[in-house]
Amino acid sequence: MKLNFLTGHELIESLRSKKADSGQIVADLKKRFDEVEPKVKAFARPPDFKDAANFESQGCVLGGLPVALKDNICSDGDLTECSSRVLGGFIAPYDATVVKKLKENGAVILGKTNMDEFAFGSSCETSCFYPTRNPWNLDCVPGGSSGGSAASVAADESIWALGSDTGGSIRQPASLCGVVGMKPTYGRVSRYGLIAFASSLDQIGPLTKDVRDNALLLNAIAGYDDRDATSVNIPVPDYLRSLEKDIKGMRIGIPKEYFIKGMDPEVEQAIREAISKLKSLGAEFKEVSLPHTEYAVAVYYIIATAEASSNLARFDGVQYGLRVHEKAKEAGPELVSMYKETRGKGFGAEAKRRIILGTYVLSSGYYDAYYSRALKVRTLIKEDFDKVFRECDLILTPTSPTPAFKIGERTDDPLSMYLSDIYTISVNLAGLPALSLPCGLTKNGLPIGLQVLGKPFGEEDIYCLAYHYEQNTQWHKMKPKL
């Protein structure tokens, strides 16, 4: 087997035992890239394999292995464009904290993966470059916004990758691409160096081939950072140790609001079978209620667009990225014209839609009616989870109501696209950790994801349950036939 098909922990062990060579790993990755990237288009631009080959594999936690980064995570000296024309040509002048931690733990940066522009999307179709395709079916989307990261791992073009999750942007593509994706607790992983979408919702997390790799990568990037005002200063456990704990007697809640009309029957069947498997392993289940779930999508698209409108105001052609109308050097009509032309030509349709929505809900006369009210309902959503977690250790749900849909199927229907994240949004609103892992395939061969939700900073329990399920099924070993 080519080395690029192995997991990170398998490769680290092979390197330690001298059964694998670091140069051969990168050579196999490059060969795979050349073979499948023209079909999948997982990367925003070709990786630097020459640079990736210069790594020291011995004596470091991540074995010197290459890691792919979503195109909104800064790495010193590299293009970081958020797959947007408005940031065209922007070279990051520093490393994000997660990149710094990766390098300290022995990893090297492989390259930047494609994404929905500024993370605005659930399908990886709003990128200014091209849509990324699902390795399991090239006519389908990989999910979004971290679609490139998920697709690169699923297609074995990368060993592992980082994405960002604002409303499901790690977990939903993980589900649609048949890989493992973790959205950590808000504040567990530093956001310093992540180009912001919605600052109270964004979180960086790992996308990997199995649960052990995911825990290993989160070990490397988690921890307090005084450069991120929202970072939480509490100890980080060794997530690898949590994998071996027993799940017998673990109390799992099944929210009735998540099993509703509109869910694909094959998705529901796969989730029910996963519940049966976990019951046979000793987990205990009970039906619970999260009554404010029905408001989550509306609340999310008020809060997220409001924060996006504020965050994206900085992209005006002055400091970085695209500048249209070069003559505008002084304040006055020419400067205003430059702002308008730069933003008009730099942002794509979905980015403009969200900026307009966000500006509207923050505007005078509408702030109290929309934004202020949404914040109150957000608190109610969090309180729903708090109540359930007083009697349950974890919550189990589908990750996505459907498997991957066709490219172009929902681009003309924004509401239908927004509903793709109906099972993932609440987690971000409540600041909780959650993980998606493979739990089945449809009759058409498309992956189905199981979502495990935990208490704040309860990643250990999530990994424990996910690992026991994974090790007693074969879904994580399935590969797309590219």
Active-site residues: which are they? 70, 145, 169
Helices 211-221, 97-104: inter-axial angle, 10-degree rounding: 110
Distances (CA, A) of 27 to 20, 23, 60, 66, 368: 12, 6, 21, 12, 57
Q: Which helix (H) or strand (E) holds 66?
A: strand 66-70
Query: Which residues make beta-bridge pairs with 406?
Result: 140
Is the previous residue joined to 169 through a cis bond, with omega within 30 degrees of 0? no
**Rounded to whole angstroms, how far apart are CA atoms 149 and 319?**
28
Residues 6 or more apart in contact with residue 319 via CB below 8 angstroms: none
- Contact between 210 and 476 under an 8 Å Cβ cutoff? The reply is yes
Q: How far apart are CA 434 and CA 172, in angstroms?
A: 11
Beta-bridge partners for 180: 208
Residue 18: how many other CB atoms lie within 10 Å: 9
Helix (H, G, I), strand (E, B) or coil at 396: strand
Q: What is the CB neighbour count within 10 angstroms for residue 88?
A: 15
- In the block, tokens 């992209």 appear at 315
Contacts of residue 127, defined as CB under 8 A and 6 or more positions apart, other chains included, come to 44, 83, 114, 115, 116, 117, 148
Q: What is the DSSP string of 445-482?
A: S-EEEEEEEESTT-HHHHHHHHHHHHHTSSGGG-----
Task: Give 291's contacts (C-beta < 8 A, 6+ positions apart).
Answer: 257, 384
Which of these, 5, 159, 72, 49, lies nearest to 351 by C-alpha position?
Answer: 72
Long-range contacts of 269-274 (CB under 8 A, 24+ apart): 269/440, 270/439, 270/440, 270/448, 270/450, 271/396, 271/397, 271/398, 271/439, 271/448, 271/450, 273/439, 273/440, 274/396, 274/439, 274/440, 274/450, 274/469
Residue type, 305: T
